Structure 1
């Protein structure tokens, strides 16, 4: 009797997660790999990832561990956003409880290049402090959850870029908002900076394909306040989809009795 398909859960919501799902399903047929992608659902995807999709939270680490057991998941790949610290910590604990293998697919962070004017800070509170002295017109690309950190800066005007229209008014005294999704070009980012006379860009160090804003800021001599990533949980990690596929291939080669067991 043939073995049941290897069951993989991808925690997604990123470009890398969608690429991983597509590549895995192209490489392995359904009788070898059963793949589910889970997304938090805070931002509606432009297109659903390949394969089965689950939307919504799990109810913390215990809820995720129960889901892993109920769905007979053999392994989990955490391909969430580098700033999704709570989700990643919950995934680490859930996989420990369920006794299954876990891999983190973490895109490389951006690094300052010659000509950059970066002020690197530890968190959003520190970013707000860094704006107080010399910034007057600030481009915020941090996402809506970070905005309360800047709510007391009433003498600064903010341009806020969001992926979807906000459900409630933004907690900023002076601001304008634009709704747009990547990809962005250097030319369009440069035009935006000039149109709004931006003197400072605030960004999470997310890495990935939205670095056009950093290139435009460098060319214009604009200061960048760069917020460092939260620490990722301990565990095996890779930086590319290709490396994640290699890890998955190794798991698929294991005997069915050893599938996905954490080591």
Structure 2
């Protein structure tokens, strides 16, 4: 019996996991993306983009397409879709595997200030003008219009449109991962004094944190939201083992 898996993605981990699941497994796989990036990286399995219409819409999609298992491999800050995944799994009685990479831990030499959200990060920049690197998604930049005194460096996969209504902002369009040397050069050339970052975890985006440590740059670290997630697995290999175990249980029960 061919088993079918719906993967909620949008991260490098989801792409890698999908590729590993596709290797000689015989599974029917579908990777779902939110569609926020205009030109996403090519995926190793069939892909759909867009939302589902909440937990009930996701549950209906699972039922209509006869998926046997749901994988949540979305970003650690994708609170809404993760909550919808939990509810949809309960509604459909389909096993859910949630992959959540561990958060970065503060190391010796790091200068971090934890903040609750983007608005808190904007306020923490202070009243005096500073050079700030906004290492955030382009959908999360608007609050910084309330602090036009700063000089902003903004890097995004897609162009920021419209640009922020601030007098001093430099925009860079680039796709990571970036090397430590790249990040040191970028921050040195732009005289960055503070970085605003999410605690994404993993290795793909960590070079900027290492660069900040070496250069003595402060990081305003936006804390992860409290996600409504089932028991999580911390790595791709653990996710693969858990997925195969869950599917074997279905085979044993004849479902």
Q: Report TM bin, short chain.
A: over 0.9
Greater shift, 159-168 or 133-142, is seen at 133-142
Q: Deviations over 1:176-222 (max 9, x none)?
A: 11111111011111111111111101101111211111111111111
Q: What are the Cα deviations for residues 230-251 of structure 1, in whole angstroms up to 9, with x where unaligned?
A: 1121412101111011111112
Unaligned runs of 5+ in 1: none
Aligned pair 1:9/2:6, yes or no? yes
Q: How does 1:121-140 map to 2 (within 5 A)?
A: 121-133=115-127, 136-140=130-134
Q: Which residue of structure 2 aligns with residue 245 of structure 1?
A: 240
Of residues 90, 99, 106 in structure 1, which corresponds to 2:93?
A: 99
C-alpha displacement of 1:159:
0.6
| Equivalent residue in structure 2 for 1:220, among 194, 215, 221 | 215
Question: Within 5 A, what are the aligned runs for 1:151-190?
Answer: 151-190=145-184
How many Å apart are 1:256 and its aligned residue? 4.1
Shift of 1:49: 1.7
The answer for the alignment partner of 1:201 in structure 2 is: 195
Deviation string, structure 1 residues 112-158 (Cα, Å, up to 9, x no partner): 11011101111112111211156611000111122122211011111
**Which moves more between the two structures, 250-259 or 128-137?**
250-259
1:82-115 Cα distance to aligned partner (Å, 9 max, x none) = 1111111111111111111111101111111101
Asked if 1 retains the 8 angstrom alpha-carbon contact of 2:212 and 2:218, the reply is yes
The Cα RMSD (Å) is: 1.7
- Report if aligned partners of 2:97, 2:243 keep a CA contact under 8 Å in 1: no
The answer (yes or no) to whether the contact 1:147–1:171 under 8 Å persists in 2 is no
> Take 1:89 and 1:259, find their aligned partners in 2: how far apart are those partners?
29
- Determine the C-alpha separation between the residues in 1 that align with 2:112 and 2:129: 13
Q: Residues 37 and 134 from structure 1, CA distance in 2 versus in 1: closer, same or farther, beyond 3 angstroms?
A: same
TM-score by length of 1: 0.91
Report the CA distance shift for 1:111/1:94 in structure 2 as closer, same or farther (over 3 A): same
Residue 8 of structure 1 aligns to a residue whose secondary structure is strand
Aligned: 1:147 with 2:144: no
Q: With structure 2 as the length reference, what TM-score do the two structures score?
A: 0.94
Secondary structure of the corresponding residue to residue 48 of structure 2: strand
Q: Is the 8 A contact 1:135 1:199 kept in 2?
A: no
Query: 1:239 & 1:194 partners in 2: Cα distance?
Result: 34
Deviation at 1:40, TM superposition (A): 1.0
What runs of 5+ residues in structure 2 fail to find an aligned partner? none
